[in-house]
Structure 1
């Protein structure tokens, strides 16, 4: 049975993430102890809430340094939802906050003026209005937060997404999205008025913007891939 060390820093969805891993046969150890994190063989950072409070919770338990030490020695690391966002250099939610900086990039809010135009989701701004006639605009505004089912578009092959096809659906709840500095870190895209990184990967670091524990068979497939195929 694969052992998963899940970092408990006060994230509200930690129990549901734990149950999802246990459902696919993993043994999950919840911990706030940085020494346990340093000794882990696989690490998971779940998360629901705000970027700043998430980092505050990690720092309160002296976890950032322990996470860096484990990642540096090659331990597979998976961030989920806000846990994925915390992996980046900085977050812009209610101020600018320093992240774990495991991946270069920032976490920014979806633009407010998102619309579907002629069946395509576009950002409508003053520059666009010069080329898009008002007859093309529909009243179908895209709301923030991005909440509900949306499609994944894998960008390149990786064992984490074995069995996942373009167009498969996952369940999202977020107002901020990750903007990686390195395009090669984007493992899958999702479109919500603008394309954004819904899955990221670099070396032994992985992140899911959606909630795999709420994404039915696709979410469980991805978690199982992390448990069984990522070493």
Structure 2
């Protein structure tokens, strides 16, 4: 008897007669929303705003026509002088910048350059209201994963129609073969004495602009 067969035999013996039977999933994990509980778009956007704020991120709302001005205002408030952006970021997003240099990431930008900029501006693939999470998949206006990991400040543009209610809804919109980055607030980890330490492996500050088209 091989090692593999011995291990499998022990597993079968440990499971006993119940092996192969279905497992009852607790109701709280399989419950679906009723029609009365289904949120309207306004409710979904409001919940997303609330949850993002709970994660110690800044969230602001703007209209599509005012997006460039809102981006410029956010960067001015941060006193940013130099930011990096994906090469395919819509040109109009940065059209109102004055006194802020925008560097297009071509994929060759080194780590030292990324670490020296004051922040990064990106879009996203989808956002989740229930968890306050933003997902990037490297698609248009999102760039490489390094852009959301190295700079100290991340300004992310989220269009209202990109916000879904739940994680399953978000997964349905995403392609599993793409590099996915899930962001719920500024990067943080548990430090000494169980204290929250932000910016260990990502931006210390996350700001979200919700564009209500």
TM range (shorter): 0.3 to 0.5
TM-score by length of 2: 0.34
- Computing the radius of gyration from Cα coordinates, the structure with the larger value is 2
Structure in which a larger fraction of residues adopt strand: 1
Q: Whose RCO is larger (CA < 8 A, sep 6+)?
A: 2
